[in-house]
Amino acid sequence: MGAIAVFLTVLITIEPLHAKQELWRGGPIAPLPPLENIDPEKAQLGETLFHDPRLSADDTVSCATCHDLSSGGADGLAKAIGIGGAEGPINTPTVYNSAYNFSQFWNGRAETLEEQAAGPVHNPVEMGANWDMVIPKLYADEDIRKTFEKLYPDGITADNIVHAIATFERTLVTVNSPFDQYLRGDKDAITAEAEQGYQLFQSYGCAACHQGVNVGGNMYQTMGAMGDYFGDRGNVDDSDMGRYTVTGREKDRHVFKVPSLRMVVHTAPYFHDGSAETLQDAIRNMAKYQLGREIADADVQKIIAFLASLAGEYERFDPNDYKRPDPD
């Protein structure tokens, strides 16, 4: 395919996105906003529940088992392993900054964090439980029961459990990364290599899909916009169907939520199928299947330097003092 044809196809693929592109000071990426309107006590209860294996059928698996907050908010596995060692069908995304995704899950089947949190509890290969099983276990714990009764008029209910967990998740925001400091005007906050990487990220066209505060998480796109990713990989199964599973529309086959790249340096392996072992592999595949291009190794390295600058340091949420950098 000639360069012009490639350009036109990319333009056609990406064209509907322009309306969505939120420009911040003229660029495609905006700094993560500081935390707002968080109820600190509910967040703290949510933090406890996030780490509580009683949310699983046999008290062995908590949210943190798969979303390890000390290693990027994911599990480092190609595919998640849940209760009884069961392997799930799909890769674990990070929970960091998930509050800023416009929907949850690779295929966007949950609209809110509250709706999302009920999923793993009931999933037979994740926590294998249900609320009728979980609520009595929590009720029997006097500390937890009293905390719920203090914070929620109706005490321990499914809605209140997921609300507390979602409140905690809204604190998992990695503000003030070197790149955000750079965006706010500190030109020395990132290296020259990262700065070149940011230019390449824009000139290759990555930013047409990975953009906004989360550098992703604000649109759906086909995996394989410019190449037959699934044909080349083989062994296609239900977890590869993407939005099609949600909408049943043919045009949604293999369409996924564009993932956030904020914490991507910490969350190998990559893609919904966990097939890219390294960031180098993921970037080469993106160039090939999303942009129809080869990419030079030197450019890959620069883009990695840029991606590394996106990861903010997460400070454990302190309910007594959650002062964050001033908004712009």
Minimum Å gap between C-beta 327 and ligand HEC is: 24
The correct pick among 160, 272, 292, 305 for binding ligand HEC (CB under 6 A) is: 272
Asked if residue 292 binds ligand HEC (CB under 6 A), the reply is no
37, 320, 307, 19: which is closest to 170 by C-alpha? 37
Rounded to a whole number of angstroms, the minimum distance from the CB of residue 268 to ligand HEC is 8
Of 32, 194, 215, 283, the residue at the interface with ligand HEC (CB under 6 A) is 283
Contact between 193 and 203 under an 8 Å Cβ cutoff? The reply is no
Q: How far apart are CA 122 and CA 118, in angstroms?
A: 7
Dist CA 80 CA 62 (whole Å): 13
Q: Which of 30, 127, 144, 190 binds ligand HEC (CB under 6 A)?
A: 127
- Considering only 45, 208, 310, 311, the residue that binds ligand HEC (CB under 6 A) is 208
Q: Residue 171 interacts with ligand HEC (CB under 6 A)?
A: no
Q: Minimal CA–CA distance to 148: which of 165, 131, 132?
A: 165
Site string for ligand HEC, 55-84 (x = CB under 6 A): x-----x-x-xxx------------x-x--
Q: Are 38 and 322 in contact (CB under 8 A)?
A: yes
Identified binder of ligand HEC from the candidate list 126, 180, 195, 252, rule CB under 6 A: 126
**What phi and psi values does residue 85 have, to the nearest 5 degrees?**
75, 15
The angle subtended at Cα 109 by Cα 107 and Cα 112, nearest 5°, is 120
Q: What distance lies between CA 153 and its chain's CA centroid?
A: 32
Length reported for the chain:
328
- Single-letter code of the amino acid located at 6: V
CB of 156 to ligand HEC, least distance (A): 15
Instruction: Give least dist CB 185 to ligand HEC, A.
Output: 25
Residue 172 touching ligand HEC (CB under 6 A): no
Interface with ligand HEC, residue 164, by CB under 6 A: no
CA distance 226 to 48: 44
* Shortest distance in whole angstroms from residue 315 CB to ligand HEC: 20
Q: Please work out the total of residues on this chain that contact ligand HEC, with binding judged by CB under 6 A.
A: 54
Among 286, 305, 310, 311, binds ligand HEC (CB under 6 A): 286
| Integer angstrom CA distances of residue 301 from 62, 162, 196, 298, 312 | 36, 40, 10, 5, 20
Q: Using CB atoms within 10 A of its CB, is residue 235 exposed (0-12), middle (13-18) or buried (19+)?
A: exposed
Binding site for ligand HEC (CB under 6 A): 13, 55, 61, 63, 65-67, 80, 82, 88, 90, 92-93, 95, 98, 101, 104-106, 113, 116-117, 120-121, 126-127, 165, 169, 204-206, 208-210, 221, 223, 225, 256, 258-259, 261, 264, 267, 270-272, 279, 282-283, 286-287, 290-291, 303
